[in-house]
Chains A and B, each alone.
Chain A
Amino acid sequence: MSDSSTTQTSATGRDEQSSGRARRFMALLLKESIQIVRDPSSILMAFVLPLILLFLFGYGVSLDATVVRIGVAVEEMNEPAQSLAAAFRGSRYFRVKEVRDRRQLMPLMVSGEIRGIVVIPAKFGTDVSRGVTESQIQVIADGTDPNTAKFVQNYVQGVWNVWAAARGADGAMGLLTLEPRFWFNPELKSQYFLVPGSIAIVMALVGTLLTALVVAREWERGTMEAMMATPISTFELIAGKLLPYFLLGLGSMAMCTAVAVFLFGVPLRGSFLALVAISAAFLFPALGQGLLISSATKNQFVASQAALLSGFLPAMLLSGFIYEIDSMPKIIQLVTYIVPAKYLIASLQTVFIAGDIWPLFAREMAAMIAIGMVFLFLTARTTRKSLE
C-alpha cells in the first residue's frame, strides 16, 4: 500500500500529495499503537510501574518524623524528674527507653537503636523544688542524620515547654508574637506536596524511559533504518512515535491523579483543564528526552542507563521535590533549570492544592515546551545525521 502511494505522490498534484501524507501518517500511527498494545512491557511501564511507585512514595516518603526512639536517663529518682520523664513517655512523638545511667544509652546510640538521649541530671529535682533553673537538661541527638537530629531537639524543647508551663515555672509570654498562617495547606500535611511531587517523578520516568527503551530497541533491531528508507520524513517519523506515547502518558497521568485524589485524599482544587494542559506540556520534554536518548545511543543497555541517570535521579533530587532549590549552590541551581520535572512539580503542587493560577501555569508550561523543542530539534538532527 505504501508503495502505490509513493508513486502517486511523486506524479500527482499538491492536494493528493497531502492526502497521501495524511494516510501515510495514519498508517504510521496505527503501527505504533498496535506495537504498544501488543507489547506488554509498555503497558507495564505506563500503568503498573506508576502505581507501584506512587504507593511507595505515598506511604514510604514522609518528612514528618512520626515517632522517634530516644533514651531518657533519670539520674536521681524524685518527683520532678519522674514527672518530666513521664511527660516524655506521654509525648506521641517519642518512644522512650528509660534508664538510670546515661552510659547505658551510649552503645544504643552507636547501633542506631535510639536517635537521641535526654539526661535529667541529679540536681534537677532539688533545683526545681527550690524554684531555680540552674541545672541543665542535656539533649544529645544523633547528628549522623541532621534532619532527625533537629526534630529531636525541637520535640524535646516542645515537651519541656508544655511541662514547664503546666508547672507554672515560666508563663510570661513575649510582647511580640508571630501568628503563622499556612496558605493552601493549613494542617501542614506533607502528603499534600509529596504526592503531586511523586506524580511528577513517575511521569518523568515513564515518559522518558518508555520512549528511550522502545525506540532504542528499534534501532538495535534495525527496524528504525527500515522506516527511514520509506518516504516518511524525519518530522513525520518523530511525530508518529510521539503521538501514541503522548496519549499513553496522558492515560498514565489520569490514573495517577485518581490514585492521588481517591486513595491519598489530596484535594484537586484546580480545574481538570489545567491539569491536562500541564501534563501535555510536560510530556513534550519527557518524550523528547527519551527519543533523543534512544537515537543518540541506539543501544538498549546504554539508553536505559541514560534514561535513569538523566530522567529519574535529577527529577528526584534536582526538582525541588524534597530538597529546596533555593538552598542549593548557585551552579546546581543553574542545572535545575533544564530539569523539566522542576516545572511540572511547581505546577502540579499548585493545581492540586492551590487552584488555577494561570500566570504560574503559563510560565512553567512555556519553560517545559521550550525544553521539549530543544530536545526534539536535537533528535531530528541526530536521526538525520545517523543515516549519512
Chain B
Amino acid sequence: MWRRLRALIVKELLAVLRDRRSRFILIGPPLLQIFLFSYAATLDVTNIQMGVLNRDAGRWSAEFLERIDGAPAFRRIINFTSQQQVAEAINNRRVVAVLEFNPDFSRDISAGRQAQAQLLLDGRRSNAAQIIAGYLTTIASDISRDISVSLSGETASEPRTPIASRYWFNPNLDDFWYIVPSLMGTLALLLSLVVTGQSVARERELGTFDQLMVSPLRVTEILIGKTLPPLIIGLVQISAFLCVAVFFFQVPFRGSLVLLYLGAIFFLASTIGVGLFISSLSQTQQQAFLGAFLFTAPAILLSGFATPVENMPGWLQVITMADPLRHFLVIVRGVFLKGMPAIDVAANILPLCLIAIFTLTTAGWLFRSRIE
C-alpha cells in the first residue's frame, strides 16, 4: 500500500511541478504580491494634497498653515483664490480637503472672539476625509490651547486630557506587522485552491481519472494521494512567506513555530478539502475554476483580511465561522504578534479540523459516487 501511495504522490507532484508555467505560477506571483501588497495595503492617510483658500492676511491663519506643512499627513498645500477654483479642484479630485479662512479670522482671535475656519472635504473618499478632518481638528485645538496660554499668560492651569494611551503587541501601530502575516494566510489559501481545484477536474476532462479509479488504489488512498502533495507545496510556500515576513519586513515572531505549523497543516487540509470537493463536483476545468473562485472571493472578504469580522452584521458573522481563512488569520496574527498560547491556537484549530474532515470525506465520497 505504501508503495502504491508513494507512486501516486510522486505522480501528483510531477503533474503540478513539471509544467514550467504552472511552476512559475506557484513561485513568481506570490512573492511579487507579498511585496507589492504589503506596501500598498495601508489604511493610514499620508502624503495628501490639500488646498487652502486664505482670505485672511493675519498671523493665525499663517500659523495654522505652517503647522499643516510640518505634518507628515500632508504633502503639498495648493493655494486657491476663489470659491469656484475650490469647487473645481474638489470635483475633479485634485484635492481631498480645502481649508477656508474668513477675512477677519486673525482679527477675531486677537480680539479674543471665537473664530471659525471652514473645512471642505470630499465625501466620495469619506474614510480618508474623516481621518484628515481628525488631523486638522487636532491642529486647531493645539493652536487654540497655545493661544489661550499666551493670552492668559499662565501655563499651569492647562487642563490635560487624563487619558493615557498604549498599544499592545504593536506599540507603533506598524501596518506591516498587521498586513504581512495576514497576506501569508490569504496567499496560501489562493495557492492551495489553485493546485487542488484543477486536479480532479483536469483528470476528468482528460479521462485519466477513470483510469485512476479502476487501478488497485482504494478511494482513501486516492484521497491521501491528492491531499498530501498540495499540503507539501503549501507548507513550502508558507515557510517562504515566513522568511520574507521575519527577515525582510522584520515582523516580530513572538509565538511558537510548532503551533504555527500545526495551524498551517490543518488550515491547508481544510482548504485542500474545499478544493477537492469543488473539483470533484465539476465536469470541466472551467467549472472547477469558477467554483474555486466563488469560494475564494467570499473567503477572503469574510475572513477579516481587509475589514474586521466584528464590523459585519451578525448573520454574516455566523457564516464566517465556515471560512477556514478566518480561523487561520487569528492563528497567524496571534502567533506572530501576541505569542498566542496553545489553548487559544487549539480553539481555532478545532473549526479548521471540522471543515477539513467534512470537505475531505465528502470529496472522497464524490470520487466514488461519480464512478458508479
Q: How far is the CA of A352 from the CA of B140 in the complex (A)?
A: 33
Query: What A residues does B194 contact at CB under 8 A?
Result: 305
Check A157 against B125 for contact (C-beta < 8 Å).
Answer: no
A13 at the binding interface (Cβ < 8 Å): no
Check B311 against A64 for contact (C-beta < 8 Å).
Answer: yes
Q: How far is the CA of A301 from the CA of B168 in the complex (A)?
A: 44
Interface size class of B (residues with CB under 8 A): 35 or more
Nearest neighbor of A359 in chain B, beta-carbon distance: B92
A329 at the binding interface (Cβ < 8 Å): yes
Which B residues between 260 and 309 are near A, CB-CB below 8 angstroms? 285-287, 289-290, 293-294, 297-298, 301-302, 306-308
Query: What A residues does B297 contact at CB under 8 A?
Result: 52-53, 56, 312
B60 at the binding interface (Cβ < 8 Å): yes
Q: Which of B174-182, B232-240, B357-365 makes up part of the contact surface?
A: B174-182
Interface code A344-365, partner B: CB below 8 Å = 1, 0 otherwise? 0010011001100101100100
Query: What B residues does A190 contact at CB under 8 A?
Result: 126-127
Check B285 against A300 for contact (C-beta < 8 Å).
Answer: yes
Q: How far is the CA of A115 from the CA of B124 in the complex (A)?
A: 29
B155 at the binding interface (Cβ < 8 Å): no
Which B residues between 87 and 104 are near A, CB-CB below 8 angstroms? 90-93
Query: What B residues does A180 contact at CB under 8 A?
Result: 119, 121, 133, 136-137
B198 at the binding interface (Cβ < 8 Å): yes
Check A156 against B173 for contact (C-beta < 8 Å).
Answer: no
Q: How far is the CA of A112 from the CA of B45 in the complex (A)?
A: 26
Which of A112, A186, A353 has the most B CB atoms < 10 Å from its CB? A112
Check A183 against B289 for contact (C-beta < 8 Å).
Answer: no
Query: What B residues does A31 contact at CB under 8 A?
Result: none
Q: How far is the CA of A263 from the CA of B44 in the complex (A)?
A: 31
Query: What A residues does B134 contact at CB under 8 A?
Result: 154
Query: What B residues does A174 contact at CB under 8 A?
Result: 140-141, 144-145, 148
A9 at the binding interface (Cβ < 8 Å): no
Check B163 against A136 for contact (C-beta < 8 Å).
Answer: yes
Interface code B117-149, partner A: CB below 8 Å = 1, 0 otherwise? 111111111111110011011001101110110
Q: How far is the CA of A360 from the CA of B92 in the complex (A)?
A: 5
Query: What B residues does A41 contact at CB under 8 A?
Result: 286-287, 290
B208 at the binding interface (Cβ < 8 Å): no
B79 at the binding interface (Cβ < 8 Å): no
Check B334 against A112 for contact (C-beta < 8 Å).
Answer: yes
Q: How far is the CA of A156 from the CA of B162 in the complex (A)?
A: 12
Which B residues between 1 and 60 are near A, CB-CB below 8 angstroms? 21-22, 25, 29, 33, 36-37, 39-49, 60
Check A322 against B43 for contact (C-beta < 8 Å).
Answer: yes
Q: How far is the CA of A111 from the CA of B343 in the complex (A)?
A: 9
Nearest neighbor of B174 in chain A, beta-carbon distance: A146
Shortest CB–CB separation between residue A155 and chain B, in angstroms? 12
B333 at the binding interface (Cβ < 8 Å): yes
Q: Which of B107-115, B214-222, B223-231 makes up part of the contact surface?
A: B107-115
B204 at the binding interface (Cβ < 8 Å): no
Check B25 against A327 for contact (C-beta < 8 Å).
Answer: no
Nearest neighbor of B341 in chain A, beta-carbon distance: A110
Nearest neighbor of B117 in chain A, beta-carbon distance: A178
Query: What B residues does A300 contact at CB under 8 A?
Result: 285-286, 289
Check B159 against A133 for contact (C-beta < 8 Å).
Answer: yes
A97 at the binding interface (Cβ < 8 Å): no
Check A175 against B115 for contact (C-beta < 8 Å).
Answer: yes
Check B167 against A149 for contact (C-beta < 8 Å).
Answer: yes
Check A177 against B306 for contact (C-beta < 8 Å).
Answer: no
B82 at the binding interface (Cβ < 8 Å): no
Q: A56-B301, A140-B165 are in contact. List 11 more A-B contacts (CB 8 A).
A: A64-B311, A110-B340, A146-B170, A146-B174, A175-B109, A178-B118, A181-B118, A182-B129, A213-B286, A316-B306, A327-B45
A-B contact pairs, 18 of them (CB 8 A): A60-B302, A111-B344, A134-B162, A138-B164, A141-B167, A141-B168, A142-B168, A176-B64, A176-B143, A176-B144, A177-B114, A181-B120, A301-B22, A317-B41, A323-B42, A323-B43, A332-B36, A353-B123
Q: Closest 10 CB pairs between A and B? A: A185-B123, A143-B170, A174-B144, A143-B167, A146-B173, A184-B123, A176-B144, A182-B123, A133-B162, A136-B164
B→A interface (CB under 8 Å): 21-22, 25, 29, 33, 36-37, 39-49, 60, 64, 75, 90-93, 109, 112-130, 133-134, 136-137, 140-141, 143-145, 147-148, 159-171, 173-175, 177-178, 190, 194, 198, 202, 285-287, 289-290, 293-294, 297-298, 301-302, 306-308, 310-313, 316, 330, 333-334, 337-341, 344, 347
